[in-house]
Amino acid sequence: SGNALDVEFRFPAPGMEIGDTIDVYYSEDGIDWTYEVMSTVQDLAGEPYVVFTANHFTQFYLGEEIANFVINNDATNTTGLNVTLNSSVSGATDMRF
């Protein structure tokens, strides 16, 4: 009844190093994503985990900051139907375009 309680979420982060930072986003519809918080990968029982608190249950996305994202080797335009995407993303399990 109007009182929001924070809940601690713990997600496994295979392939990430303890101390890495990762951005956490949430979505109500799986399409529009809103930044929630930046978290640091923690050691839980010898395994890397992303740990953060939130006062809502919804869809969460854990994504590292992207250093670069290049389309068609940085071409200014294209008339082709196919393009090449280059990204420095690591540790991602899902991507949507």
34-47 tens-digit pLDDT: 888 999 999 999 99
Least confident range of 6-10, 56-60, 74-78, 93-97: 93-97
Identify the burial level of 44 via C-beta atoms within 10 angstroms of its C-beta, where 0-12 means exposed, 13-18 middle and 19 or more buried: middle
Question: What band does 91 get if pLDDT is binned at 50, 70 and 90?
Answer: low
Name residues whose C-beta falls within 8 Å of residue 4's C-beta, 6 or more positions apart in sequence: 55, 56
Nearest to 53 by CA among 37, 64, 40: 37
**Per-residue pLDDT tens over the stretch 11-40:** 999 888 999 998 898 888 888 888 889 999
How many CA atoms are closer than 13 Å to the CA of 3, on its beta-carbon side?
A: 2
